[in-house]
Amino acid sequence: MTQEIIFIFTSAFAALFPVINPIGNGFIIDGFIKNLDDEQRKAASKKVFINCLLIGLGSLVVGHLILLLFGLAIPVIQVGGGIIICKTGLEMLSGSSTSADDGKQEAIDKIKLEEIEQKLFYPLSFPIVVGAGTISVIFTLMASATVKDNFLHTGINYLAIALALFLMLAILYVFLLQGHRFMKKLGSSGNLIINKLVAFITFCIGIQILVTGISKIFHITVL
């Protein structure tokens, strides 16, 4: 049983890493919170961590029930999430860049801070970090971790998945706290290049999730 739990944990960690992508998504979120001071950045990072953890654990505990209740299918969630991620990527690509001096006029304007706080859940936590891809991976892990007629064993396996999710989001949290130091070393030009590159990748990820959902709905092979 111990070997099985270790296998489920390592499988969950490996499966969740590419969909949560703590480093890549860390760059995306850093583009939104880059002008915050250390205390504000810590508070924003903590909110993103808690939001993502609650969404992930909620999917693990009541995910199937929610889908049945609203009659939703995973491909439909992928299509919706893909559209939202594409929209976010386009907004980041078209956004105007400001110089380091302009961004530090008063540490951060109160209105700007409120705007960022409104985005911490949507779209930063959901669907950028924990979106349709993450939910579908969690559902797949649940199916493989379920032991028929053994609720205790199943519960322990689910805890292993939850632990993998927690560690993945902890990596994201640490990156959000320290990532801006790395970005400062790159300078304004390097920062701009990375932000635009990440924005383009975000847009492409949205298209891939969207196309994957469409291909599953219509039972066609696209990718």
Instruction: Print pLDDT tens along the chain (223 aa).
Output: 788 899 889 989 988 888 898 888 888 898 888 888 888 899 999 999 999 999 999 999 887 677 678 887 767 877 887 787 788 778 878 865 444 344 334 444 555 667 788 889 988 999 889 987 788 788 878 877 878 788 899 899 999 999 999 999 999 999 999 877 776 777 777 767 877 887 787 788 778 878 888 998 898 887 6
At residue 141, the pLDDT reads 82
- Is 205 within 8 Å of 93 (Cβ atoms)? no
Q: What is the dihedral of CA 51, 23, 110, 186, to 10 degrees?
A: 170
Q: Is residue 129 part of a domain?
A: yes
- Total count of domains within the chain: 1
User: What per-residue confidence (pLDDT) applies to 106?
Assistant: 44
pTM: 0.71
> Does residue 63 belong to any structural domain of this protein?
yes
DSSP assigned state of 146: -
In a domain, 61, yes or no: yes
- Asked whether residue 222 is domain-assigned, the answer is no
How many angstroms from the chain centroid is the CA of residue 10? Answer: 19
Residue 208: which residues within 8 A CB-CB, separation 6 or more? Answer: 82, 223
The answer to whether residue 91 sits within a structural domain is yes
Residue 65 domain-assigned? yes
- Domain with 108, as residue range(s), is 2-217
Determine, yes or no, domain membership for 223. Answer: no
